Structure 1
Amino acid sequence: MALELERLRGEVVAGFAALGGRLDTALQRTSQTEADIDKLEQRIELLERARWPLPSVAALVAVVGLGLSLYQLAAR
């Protein structure tokens, strides 16, 4: 009976050790994923900041085009 309990105790200890290893691996992957997400968020913010002048430039070109059209119309 005592030998059987000792064997079961050994299996439980080994099981907990294996489970602890799996949890460590999962925690490491989660930490790496969070770091990757942070990097991607920074890249997105940089891209969004670099993109802001495009609508302004398009509006400016449209206004200049309208102005030139009105100038040509008035010059006739």
Structure 2
Amino acid sequence: MTTDGESAVVPEELAELRRSLDVGLARVDGRLALLTQHDEQTAKNVETMEARVAALEHTRWPLPTIVALSAVVAIAVAIWQAMGR
């Protein structure tokens, strides 16, 4: 059996629980919004990095070309030194 004192406390406790729930939900919503913002920024950063890597890959020289060019220069230097002596 409930007394009048106990029945007055129940609505106050329910109101306190509702306030706590509202505050908790507001915190969760705020954190989710922050995570969404971070996710969008990360996606932009990834797209930027992918574009930069693609540009670097496009402008780099292939390794066999560098090796061949170095060999030609080495041969030219060797011939130049042999002709000079």
Q: What range describes the TM-score normalised by the shorter chain of this pair?
A: 0.7 to 0.9
Stretches of structure 2 that go unaligned for 5 or more consecutive residues are 1-9, 79-85
What displacement does 1:22 show? 0.4
Of 44, 65, 73 in structure 2, the residue corresponding to residue 56 of structure 1 is 65
RMSD (Å) for aligned C-alpha atoms: 2.6
Q: Which runs of 4+ in 1 moved over 4 A?
A: 63-66
TM-score by structure 1 length? 0.73
TM-score by structure 2 length? 0.66
1:15 aligned to 2:16?
Answer: no
Whichever of the two has the greater Rg, that structure is 2
- How many residues matched? 72
Q: Which has the higher helix share?
A: 1
Stretches of structure 1 that go unaligned for 5 or more consecutive residues are 70-76
Output one character per residue of 1:38-73: Cα deviation in whole Å (capped at 9) or x when no partner. Answer: 10111011111111356324324535766xx8xxxx
